[in-house]
Structure 1
Amino acid sequence: MHFTIAIIGRPNVGKSTLFNRLVGKKLALVDDRPGVTRDRREGEAQLGDLEFSIVDTAGLEQSDPDSLTGRMRAQTEAAIEGADAIFFVIDARTGLTPTDRHFGDLVRRSGKPIILIANKAEGKVGTAGAYEAFDLGLGEPIALSAEHGDGFSELYAAVREALPEQTALPDDIEEDDTAPLVLGDEEDGSELDPTKPLRIAVVGRPNAGKSTLINRILGEDRLLTGPEAGITRDSISVDFVWTPPRGEARKMKLFDTAGLRRRASIQDKLEKLAAGDAIRAVKFAEVVVLLLDATIPFEKQDLTIADLVEREGRALVIGLNKWDLVQDQQKLLKELREKADHLLPQLRGMAVVPVSGLEGTGIDKLMAAILRVHELWNKRLSTGRLNRWLEGAIERTPPPAVSGRRIKIRYMTQPKARPPYFVLFGNQLDHLPTSYERFLINGLRETFEFPGVPIRISKRTSSNPFEGKRKPPDNKRKRH
């Protein structure tokens, strides 16, 4: 039976290190400074033969509910509410603090099974701190070192004891080897698999309203928000099901990312880690929503982010957030769509959708644009259809000559999508000018409708069958 465990504790006790150890990946940012984690992050953990959901949370601190730390605490309390059990973590090297005692009472009042973990328990100092944890009255502490991987067998036994029903082994396990194998069909025109979650990364400059927009899409205050710029640090992934006004429900995975500033402006180590995490989210995504502040759109950093998306081969949708603050909306929208095509010709025709995360307007149109561009990103064209178009394009605008010899493009095929990837075959294609490649890409984009989708072209030149071969000798006798 699947279950969820939340990791709770004051700042800098090693919660994110424990989270990363259990999920087997460095998903959560880790630093020596306290308060690195702000949002709650979920992952799929494995402990022995146990598989469960694990939730990393912000460090518990006593503060005003309206402050940033107060809102972080509210996110942590929501994680406690949704969990089946709690890992309450203390720092064994520091020993018990008044904060540990205060929040120990908080988790006790939750009524959930509590597993007390004395982290950083390696060495004599850590062992003494682990014994001190008995004073919390939360049961026997597990002496653990999340960084070095010590004590996890004891943790496994404690989880089995705290959640006996959820961790009970089935009487008999049957393997299902009848699952159908899904194979791609070259002529079906698509590599889209609607059964898999659509991965969407929301990126942009700091304070563009990314977390607010995602909360509105989810219909809950899942992510930490506020007027302060740079609240989000980790790239937080959230699974949900989107049901459009018309059409079938679709599984999705949304990634909220840290705001990306110019590299020269980033001096802080933690901000560099957060920026790297956001870039990894772009690489992992299928569709990227570049969220702009509609009151100050298309700064240089926005174009840099869009260029990154194109280089990584991801489909792009531009969201114009804070649209409720714009006065002449129709005029500005027309101007920004024209500006987007001019500034980002490599993604010409991309969807530019006005939204308001605060008021919830434009969400349906944004999600429809995401689904549409994802469908195009997966589209694959038949070879016959491609070459009928190519023949007409070459006839209207032939390739230029090189050293007096005409470049010949014989045919084209699309071996794969995600993003659409085309291969040209012919003679002297190594000399094909970049301008003619752009001509072909623009023609493909307009004719077959690939707005906002990167297009890749590679060239394969036919080899000369006589190249490198010696001229056959003349066997005829010379006459004297």
Structure 2
Amino acid sequence: MRPVVAIIGRPNVGKSTLFNRLARRRIAIVDDTPGVTRDRKEAEAVLGGRDVTLVDTAGLEEAPPETVAGRMTAGSARAVDLADLVLFVLDGREGLTPADRHFAAWLRRSGKPVILVVNKAEGRAGEAGYYDAFALGFGEPVAVSAEHGEGLGELHARVRAALPEPAAGEDETGEAGSVRPLRLAVVGRPNAGKSTLVNRLIGEERLLTGPEPGITRDAIALPWRDAEGRLVRLVDTAGLRRRARVTDKLEKLSTAATIVALREAEVVVLVLDALAPLEAQDIAIAALAEREGRALVLALNKWDLVPVKERDAVRRAVAERLATGLAQLKGVSVVPLSALSGAGVEALMPAVWAAYAAWNSRVPTGALNRWFAAAIERHPPPLVDGRRLKLRYITQVKARPPSFVVFGTRTGRLPEDYVRYLTNGLREALGLAGVPIRLTLRSSRNPYVEGD
């Protein structure tokens, strides 16, 4: 197993900036607003020549446990429990604070190895904070500037010295070859229950949840094995509101992180509120997933709050809304569930894996053209300028999503409704419900026939 290195400290001392610097890529959202990070965020990194799991955490605050700040601190404490090494970060410009002393005492009681990191130590402004840090009793601190990349060589060396060597016979990661996980993103409007659903799936309160809308601010990736033991990279995301309503800088960063997570996913679970399902923003998010070529599953959350006598009507309303607003994903799976109670959640992953299989599917050319010939015979292409358009054959050029090319003459004149006929026929005949289909038309031009 990779050693786990957790970055801990008060809000706004530069933990996420250091996390991004050590991971060597921009993963965590960084902003001057205190408390941007609310959930633990993990990344694979190389520190001191060792492959590690690096963990960014929410800021440590003294707050009642029922508050958002208290729940954030509890999540950070869990990160310390799981860590092999803690990087305790201070703000060199601000100097040592009573809160720093309080959490230093707490870390000593944890018994975890600690490296004291004084951030923002560049120039004379950070010197006093660096020398004050000796008083915490963790030995010599490491002075760094996460923003400018200064002092990181010393930090890498200290991490290497603090981590145990790999056991005999293991490589640096302590792992054998790994299977590539399914990339699954959970998206939706704010307060639809995305984080609650992710917690229910993984079986622990890993993500911060609560009645407050907009708790999740960043895209949080979690490695997970489902009930069948299959590896999944599960990504919880911030809620997506209509673009016109997103004016705050921090929310813009959150929205951008969600869209990146959606684009990197293979399957997208769109969480709907069963009390107000498939509003315009839900359709917009689903359409974005289709444009990006992702497989889609709809999770109809809070189903337990829908009165039993009204459930058939809700199902019909959802089906009608899908038929009119999301016709390009005809047959998409809709899974009614309650993330809070767990009812119906067991049906979600089978639907996800079915969508993933369809998204990956390839059809032999022979079988594809037998379907194509039957489709054309059943409904021939229309006449254009008194001449019938000729469609010769079809081939699949790739999967992920399934993409096909139809060859014929004057295919640019083929009406849109006939293209839809072929697309829907492909979806029904080949079992491609809920996944985007790309259908491209190509003409084989005859130079001796004008207009061919």
TM band (smaller chain): over 0.9
Out of 316-325 and 126-135, give the one that drifted further.
126-135
Structure 1 regions of 5+ residues with no counterpart? 180-193, 469-480
In structure 2, how many angstroms separate the alpha carbons of the residues matched to 1:363 and 1:70?
A: 29
Instruction: Pick the structure with greater CA Rg.
Output: 1
Indicate the residue corresponding to 1:353 in structure 2.
335
2:239 paired residue among 259, 263, 267? 259
What amino acid is aligned across from residue 427 of structure 1 in structure 2?
T
Kept after mapping to 2: 8 A contact 1:40/1:56: yes
1:122 deviation in Å? 1.0
Q: TM-score, normalised by structure 2?
A: 0.95
In structure 2, how many angstroms separate the alpha carbons of the residues matched to 1:367 and 1:171?
A: 36
Matches within 5 A, 1:31-430: 31-166=31-166, 195-244=179-228, 249-327=229-307, 328=309, 329-430=311-412
**C-alpha RMSD of matched pairs (Å):** 1.9
Out of 403-412 and 4-13, give the one that drifted further.
403-412
Large movers: runs of 4+ above 4 Å: 170-174, 465-468
Task: Name the SS for the 1:349 alignment partner.
Answer: coil
In structure 1, how many angstroms separate the alpha carbons of the residues matched to 2:4 and 2:290?
A: 37
Pairing 1:447–2:429 present: yes
In structure 2, how many angstroms separate the alpha carbons of the residues matched to 1:126 and 1:366?
A: 51
In structure 2, how many angstroms separate the alpha carbons of the residues matched to 1:446 and 1:467?
A: 36
Deviations 1:275-299 (A, max 9, x none): 1100111101111011011011111
Task: Name the SS for the 1:58 alignment partner.
Answer: coil
Structure 2 regions of 5+ residues with no counterpart? none
Kept after mapping to 2: 8 A contact 1:351/1:369: yes
1:212 deviation in Å? 0.5
What amino acid is aligned across from residue 63 of structure 1 in structure 2?
A
Task: Name the SS for the 1:16 alignment partner.
Answer: helix
Q: TM-score, normalised by structure 1?
A: 0.89
Matches within 5 A, 1:9-28: 9-28=9-28
Deviations 1:394-425 (A, max 9, x none): 11222223333322111000021100000111
1:172 deviation in Å? 11
Work out the percentage of aligned pairs sharing the same amino acid. Answer: 57
Kept after mapping to 1: 8 A contact 2:268/2:295: yes
Kept after mapping to 2: 8 A contact 1:14/1:91: yes
In structure 2, how many angstroms separate the alpha carbons of the residues matched to 1:459 and 1:267?
A: 41
Deviations 1:68-89 (A, max 9, x none): 1000011000000000010000
**C-alpha distance 298-431 of structure 1, shift in aligned 2 (>3 A):** same
1:48 deviation in Å? 4.2
What amino acid is aligned across from residue 214 of structure 2 in structure 1?
G
Deviations 1:438-479 (A, max 9, x none): 1110111111111111000112211324489xxxxxxxxxxx
1:130 deviation in Å? 1.3
In structure 2, how many angstroms separate the alpha carbons of the residues matched to 1:467 and 1:160?
A: 73
Task: Name the SS for the 2:145 alignment partner.
Answer: coil
In structure 1, how many angstroms separate the alpha carbons of the residues matched to 2:204 and 2:257?
A: 24
**C-alpha distance 171-221 of structure 1, shift in aligned 2 (>3 A):** closer
Kept after mapping to 2: 8 A contact 1:337/1:352: no
Out of 275-284 and 430-439, give the one that drifted further.
430-439
Indicate the residue corresponding to 1:188 in structure 2.
none
In structure 2, how many angstroms separate the alpha carbons of the residues matched to 1:462 and 1:117?
A: 66
